[in-house]
Structure 1
Amino acid sequence: MHFYVYLEQSFRGDEENKALIHDFRREMNGIARGVVEFVRRYQQAPVSADNCAAFLKEYEAVGKLLVMRIEREEGNLYPLYQA
Structure 2
Amino acid sequence: MSSLGWILTLNFGYHNKNYKTVNLENYSITIPLHSPAEKVFGTSINDIPLWWTEIFEGISNKQGESFTILLGEPVVNQFRLQELEA
TM-score, normalized by length of structure 2? 0.25
TM-score, normalized by length of structure 1? 0.26
Structure showing greater radius of gyration is 1
- Higher helix fraction (1 or 2): 1
- Higher strand fraction (1 or 2): 2
Greater RCO (Cα-Cα under 8 Å, separation 6 or more)? 2
